[in-house]
Amino acid sequence: MHESAVVTTVLGIIGLLLVAAIAAIALKRLKMPYTVGLVIVGLLLRLLVGQFHQLEPLASIELSPDLIFFIFLPTLIFESAFNLNARLLAQNLTPVLALAAPGLLLSTAIVGALVALFTPLTLGPALVFGALISATDPVAVVALFKEVGAPKRLAVLIEGESLFNDATAIVLFQIIVTVATGAAFGASIIGTGTLDFLRVFFGGLVIGGLIGYLMIWIISHADSDPLVEVAFSTVVAYAAFIVAEHNFHVSGVMSTVGAGLVVGTMGSTRFSKNVREYLHQFWEYAAFVANSLIFLLVGLSLNLGELSAYLGPISVAIVAGLLARALVVFGLIPLVTRLSSTRIDLRYQTVMFWGGLRGAVAIALVLSLSPDFPFRDLIAAMAVGVVIFSLVAGGLTMGPLIRKLGLADPSLADLVGVEQATIVAKNAAAERLKKISVSGHFSSSMVADLLADCETEIAKANRRMDDLRHRCSPSDMKKVLWTQALSIERTNYREMFEHGAITGAVLQELELAVDLTQDALRLDEAGMEDADLDRSATPLEERIANVGIRLVKLVAPNGRTVQRHQLASLAAKYEHDTAVALASRRVVTQLDQLAASSGIDPEITRACEAVWEKRRAAAIGRIDSVAEHFPEFASAVQFRTASRIAFEGEAEAVDDLASSGAIPEFAAAQSRKQVEQALQRLASQPVDALEPEPSELLAKVPFFATLEQSDRKRVVDKLAPRTVLAGTDIITQGEKGSSLFLISRGVVSVHSKQPQKEFERVASFHAGQFFGEMALLRAEPRSATVRAVTDCQLYELSRESVEELYGVCPSLESALERAAKERSG
Ligand code: CMP
């Protein structure tokens, strides 16, 4: 008997997958969104199962809350978080979190109130309904977005919200259910509820993040084998969910989100290309299976007949849901964007309003209500009604809506690009044909016919291109050129990464910047002169690390960790600037040819070239400044880059030899492994070339220059080296502090704010000079802010050290006193 249950389940799963695969083909033909289509197919299937008993295994799998939460959700959420662009998410975190937490609360309250007013539900159950129906479904929305090709930022806003608000909804639902089933409602519930929520939400994120990190750590210390790594990632997705729920009683959804974000972001820089591709393909397949099953099962579990008894309350629920969503999106977003400096276009807001589809989470929550919960049947009917309405009405109209709003339009640049591609391709075909006609193996009249076809196509494409050109205003033309320039830039970054010239983290940062400019260009968000081209150079991982470093600094400001971190940032900045300089040069050289082939006004071309020239000059300026102040460092970074390029070249050669059969596969595998290990070693090695050389400093500082050899050593022992990046505040006005800084390399500026005045730059110091003496001598707060203008190499001396050194170097005290007096003017 037991066996037959297994067989039925297997038959059920296989059968559903078969239906899903066939439906996928049919839905593509019908141009219907996949998820919506599957629900409809599921509904039809339910009717058929009643008629044909052979189909019964399909209905043997029941859609239970545990199935959704513990089997489907981890996969879907992990995949979504893994692929989410964490950098873009970080930039849009404020609106995303505002919608996911306060937005969800607001929506719960509005839906609850309306439903309590206009349906038989009492307030408690009405609020339960409000909570379970307010979470937008990541699956339905994300799948749809991929299909219609929505702008990247819009996708992140919606996807981010739906990932985070699942957790909020689940927690809120549990709290309200507890209250509604007896516990007295009062201020204490709100207080403990809020605390509980914060613990569950952020606790989950942290647990998942740690589990994800642990996986990365294990993998980066083991030999890489894609299959093992895929297995690890599966364990992480599920372990994050279950460990969070069962061992820590925090949100499993948030935990899986945390794990997915960490593995996706860190993995993209630590895994080899091979492993990354495997992981992506595996998770794409896993999500496809989970998606297919879940939506088919939703369809299969719905009983439309039963719903007809509740049409009144369902309509109220639908209207309440729409109203609440409208209020949350159109009310909260303008408010939040005013507080943070982001802007979210009204068209985006419209899509976010209409794109708040509801799905499996709502169904799972309803199913988890105990059978004796007041109004359970009515709540279930209303939830199902809203889900069907949102999936069918929303799902079917989303694509057209996005197109109508012009959010998925191919830009003029895309159109020109298509024509250009046709011309290039047809020209290549014509060349081949000419070659084979010479060989004499083919009938010349046939070749001539094919050639004539090519020429006609080329002529047509040229005509269409002319047409486009006539339709284009100069500003359109400018856009075309800009878009093409950005594509060249992006291709170059990819190439550099593939050749090992830049790391994955730097590549991601550069690509994101290109993406955002491209989106902005396409949607006319910004006048392109104003486009923020000098886009942030600090990779996200670094930014997160910066927060940690700040904490470490509080405990051990002189520690090795702080120094290493500074050097890593400097290396990333250097790499970033080198890439920008190189890519910008290629953009400029290629723009000329491009402009000629698309007939763009030379004036416009020159303006565009000037922008990239400027970027190049700025990047080179920054590289030069590092090279000037830290020549050893610059050559160490270059050495590392060159080694990486060499290793990548080696790997490519091995691949070529293996694929041509010149060396056996096992030998190739061995060589690949060696290269892989060498690359990993290189990545984990800090750039350590900034070992400071204190005697260099002593020679520059007047009061130390004349010291005897033995005294010099006593001074050197007391010096604590610091590397500070350009733009960092070394001293902040008003803070406590009593150490003296000596500049070994670089330039700093002094800014001071006097009462009723603006911050003013009062001085700059360079190598051989010192600052910070005033607070040291007078035991007062710092009198000014001192900022690194270039990257700097400094030495810090504590007050005790300075006082000891007075004995060794008598002129020190008077020099400090004199400076303090002059500077305080
Ligand atoms: P301290 O007050 O310890 O910290 C800020 C430092 O900036 C201060 O010591 C001086 O070294 C320097 N500083 C402050 N004001 C001036 C000024 N007007 N001109 C030059 N240096 C200054």
Can you give the three-state secondary structure of 560-579, one letter per residue? HHHHHHHHHHHHHHHHHHHH
Task: For a ligand 1 pocket test, name from 751, 766, 771, 789 the mutation site with the most ligand atoms within 8 angstroms of its C-beta.
Answer: 771
Q: Ligand 1 centre from 750 Cα, in Å?
A: 7
Task: For a ligand 1 pocket test, name from 783, 797, 798, 821 the mutation site with the most ligand atoms within 8 angstroms of its C-beta.
Answer: 783
User: Which residue puts its alpha carbon closest to atom 12 of ligand 1?
Assistant: 771
Residue-level pLDDT at 536: 45
**Does the pLDDT of residue 388 top 70, yes or no?**
yes
Count of CB atoms within 10 A of residue 625's CB?
Answer: 18
Contact 739, 771 (CB under 8 A): no
Contact 222, 47 (CB under 8 A): no
Place of tokens 């299976």: 289
Residue-level pLDDT at 531: 42
Residue-level pLDDT at 656: 85
Distance of CA 807 to the CA centre of its chain: 56
For residue 757, CA distances in Å to 318, 372, 729, 762 come to 58, 69, 20, 13
The better pLDDT of the pair 548, 765 is held by: 765
Q: Cα(779)–Cα(776) distance, rounded to whole angstroms?
A: 6
Predicted confidence band of residue 554 (pLDDT cuts 50, 70, 90): low
**SS3 state of residue 249:** coil
User: Which residue puts its alpha carbon closest to atom 16 of ligand 1?
Assistant: 823
Q: Which amino acid appears at position 682 of this protein?
A: L
The pLDDT of 433-452, averaged and rounded, is 84
Q: Ligand 1 centre from 776 Cα, in Å?
A: 11
Contact 140, 158 (CB under 8 A): no
**SS3 state of residue 750:** strand
User: Which residue puts its alpha carbon closest to atom 11 of ligand 1?
Assistant: 771
Q: Ligand 1 centre from 17 Cα, in Å?
A: 73
**SS3 state of residue 763:** strand
Q: Classify residue 674 by burial, with Cβ atoms within 10 Å: 0-12, 13-18, 19+.
A: middle
Q: Ligand 1 centre from 564 Cα, in Å?
A: 28
Q: Which of 42-51, 67-76, 79-88, 644-653 has the lowest mean pLDDT?
A: 644-653
**Does the pLDDT of residue 222 top 80, yes or no?**
no
Q: Quote the mean pLDDT of the chain.
A: 83
Q: Ligand 1 centre from 757 Cα, in Å?
A: 17
For residue 452, CA distances in Å to 421, 449, 460 come to 19, 5, 12
pTM above 0.75, yes or no: no
Q: Ligand 1 centre from 460 Cα, in Å?
A: 72
Q: Which amino acid appears at position 433 of this protein?
A: L
Compute the radius of gyration of the chain from its Cα atoms: 32
Which is the closest atom of ligand 1 to the Cα of 785?
5
For residue 747, CA distances in Å to 535, 793, 821 come to 24, 9, 22
Q: Ligand 1 centre from 762 Cα, in Å?
A: 9
The encoded tokens of residue 765 equal 């110091």
**Does the pLDDT of residue 551 top 70, yes or no?**
no
User: Which residue puts its alpha carbon closest to atom 20 of ligand 1?
Assistant: 823
Q: Ligand 1 centre from 767 Cα, in Å?
A: 16
Q: Cα(673)–Cα(676) distance, rounded to whole angstroms?
A: 5
Contact 482, 458 (CB under 8 A): no
The pLDDT of 656-685, averaged and rounded, is 80
The pLDDT of 432-458, averaged and rounded, is 86
Residue-level pLDDT at 533: 46
Closest CA to 382 of 332, 314, 437: 314
Which is the closest atom of ligand 1 to the Cα of 824?
18
Q: Cα(188)–Cα(202) distance, rounded to whole angstroms?
A: 21
Residue-level pLDDT at 784: 93
Ligand 1 pocket, CB under 6 A: 731, 750, 752, 762-763, 771-775, 782-784, 786, 823, 825
User: Which residue puts its alpha carbon closest to atom 18 of ligand 1?
Assistant: 823
Q: Ligand 1 centre from 245 Cα, in Å?
A: 55
Task: Please report which helix (H) or strand (E) contains residue 812, including its range.
Answer: helix 811-823
Q: Ligand 1 centre from 562 Cα, in Å?
A: 25
User: Which residue puts its alpha carbon closest to atom 22 of ligand 1?
Assistant: 823
The better pLDDT of the pair 335, 499 is held by: 335
Closest CA to 723 of 636, 620, 604, 614: 636
Predicted confidence band of residue 535 (pLDDT cuts 50, 70, 90): very low
Residue-level pLDDT at 527: 46
Contact 486, 577 (CB under 8 A): no
Which is the closest atom of ligand 1 to the Cα of 775?
3
For residue 146, CA distances in Å to 30, 79, 118 come to 17, 14, 38
Please report, rounded to a whole number, the percentage of residues in the chain having pLDDT higher than 90: 23
User: Which residue puts its alpha carbon closest to atom 5 of ligand 1?
Assistant: 784
Reported as a single tens digit per residue, the pLDDT across 293-302 is 988 888 888 7
Q: Ligand 1 centre from 735 Cα, in Å?
A: 13
Contact 749, 790 (CB under 8 A): no
Widest pairwise Cα distance in the chain = 104
Q: Ligand 1 centre from 771 Cα, in Å?
A: 6
User: Which residue puts its alpha carbon closest to atom 21 of ligand 1?
Assistant: 823
Reported as a single tens digit per residue, the pLDDT across 150-208 is 777 888 898 899 889 888 898 889 888 888 776 555 666 677 778 888 899 999 999 99
Which is the closest atom of ligand 1 to the Cα of 770?
11
Task: For a ligand 1 pocket test, name from 731, 798, 823, 824 the mutation site with the most ligand atoms within 8 angstroms of its C-beta.
Answer: 823
